Amino acid sequence: MPWRTAKKANLNDLVSFLAPRESTCVSFTSRLLEHARGGDPVLPGRFSGTIHLFRTEGSPIAAAAFRTSFGLILPVFDDNLTVDSDEVGALVTRFSPVTSLMGLASSVDAFARHVEASPRERREYYLMVRPASPFSLPPPPFPGISARSAMPEDAAALFPLQCAYEKEEVLLVGDRLNAAASRILLEKSLKKETVWLAEYRGAVIAKAGTNARGFLWDQLGGIFVGNEFRSRGVGRWIVANLISALSREGKGTCLFVKKTNTGAITMYRRLGFEIRENFSISYYR
């Protein structure tokens, strides 16, 4: 079978395969940098996940799939690759149990048809991208508002917004918020990601950050504005501050947004994002 477990000797080929399409798979590339030594990517440890590569004898890598230790699969296929259905099915069997699939819709579909269970929930998004380029900040939306980079000590002030964001955008139907887990994830995010917040009269009213940081692209997530400050330009402004900071680092930015969220899509277009692909997440357990 042409699927093989990635070894250290395959790392350069894997990076060469992922780099040109990184804006579509930052969740994958960011995991190669989690334990980077001197900035150089490394394969995950056995407790972090496994990577399988698709290649025929003597050919370059044509597909890769990352399975995290908790069952999330991140598949990445070359656009011109036609993989035999049985070969994908055999890999899915090796990856079982599958808790979720995330990636371009075409890649998720290739794997999903071989998962024995039907997804508990599937969400459809647009993947939107903004290449690295100079960015001029728009003026603040109203007097008295300020924006700054968030620090770990801001966790308590950001926590109410984080909970509201998860209830509105993350939780699956029928699930309840685990506040303790949410706080832990927020604190980890403030340590390893880039997060910006907006303040007004001493209160945090909005936030935007990265949720995956790759080689040349960062993926945005956790973007949320408190209810009383919506439709006032706060969301666009805090995302603009984040983009400006990442642009100064030479990083392109990408995100996935629900296809039904026309207001957010319009806002991101105004910030220079363009729709590139259909993106999906299927949840199983």
pLDDT in tens, 52-61: 998 866 678 8
Domains of the chain, earliest start first: 3-117 (3.40.630), 145-278 (3.40.630.30)
Reported as a pLDDT band with limits 50, 70 and 90, residue 178 is very high
Contacts of 77 (CB under 8 A, 6+ apart): 62, 63, 83, 104, 106, 107, 110
CA distances from 273 to 43, 131, 183, 264 (A): 31, 8, 30, 11
Examine the pLDDT at 82 and tell me if it is beyond 90.
no
- Residue 270 tokens, joined: 């105004």
- Local confidence band at 28 (pLDDT 50, 70, 90 cut-offs): very high
Q: What is the pLDDT of residue 159?
A: 98
* Helix (H) or strand (E) run with residue 256 in it: strand 252-258
Q: What is the pLDDT of residue 93?
A: 82
Kindly provide the b/e burial profile for residues 126-157, where b requires at least 16 CB atoms within 10 angstroms of the residue's own CB: bbbbbebeebeeeebbeeebebeebeeebbee
Distance in angstroms (rounded) separating the CA atoms of residues 261 and 255: 13
Q: What's the start-to-end Cα distance of the chain, in Å? A: 28
Residue 116 identity: E
- Is pLDDT above 90 for 114? no
pLDDT score recorded for residue 95: 83
What pLDDT sits at residue 84? Answer: 67
pLDDT of residue 46: 78
Mean pLDDT, residues 41-48 taken together = 87
Asked if residues 100 and 71 have their Cβ atoms less than 8 Å apart, the reply is: yes
Q: Which long-range CB contacts under 8 A does 75-81 form with residues at least 24 apart? A: 75/101, 75/103, 75/107, 75/108, 75/110, 75/111, 76/17, 76/18, 76/21, 76/24, 76/25, 76/28, 76/103, 76/104, 76/107, 77/104, 77/106, 77/107, 77/110, 78/17, 81/54
Instruction: Provide the pLDDT confidence category of residue 1 given band limits of 50, 70 and 90.
Output: low
CB 245 within 8 A of CB 134: no
User: Lowest-pLDDT range, 37-46, 125-134, 171-180, 192-201?
Assistant: 37-46
> What residues are paired with 5 via a beta bridge?
52
| Mean pLDDT (the chain, rounded) | 93
pLDDT at 45: 84
The encoded tokens of residue 5 equal 């477990």
User: 85 versus 54: which is more confidently predicted?
Assistant: 54
pTM: 0.94
Mean pLDDT calculated for residue range 92-96: 82
d(CA 48, CA 30): 13
pLDDT at 36: 79
pLDDT at 62: 87
Taking residues 172-183, what's their average pLDDT? 96
Distance CA 120, CA 285 (A): 7
The whole-number pLDDT of residue 166 equals 97
Q: What is the rounded distance in angstroms from the CA atom of residue 162 to the CA atom of residue 113?
A: 34
Judged against a pLDDT cut of 90, whether residue 116 lies above it is answered with: no
Could you read off the pLDDT of 249-282 as tens digits, one per residue? 999 999 999 999 999 999 999 999 999 999 999 9
Sheet holding 100-104, edge to edge: 3-5, 49-54, 63-68, 72-77, 100-104, 274-283, 121-130, 252-258, 217-225, 203-213, 195-200, 145-149
Q: Tokens 């899509």 map to which residue?
A: 265
Q: Is 84 exposed, middle or buried (0-12, 13-18, 19+ CB in 10 A)?
A: exposed
124-172: pLDDT as tens digits = 999 999 999 988 899 999 999 999 999 999 999 999 999 999 999 999 9
Q: d(Cα 201, Cα 161) in Å, to the nearest integer?
A: 16
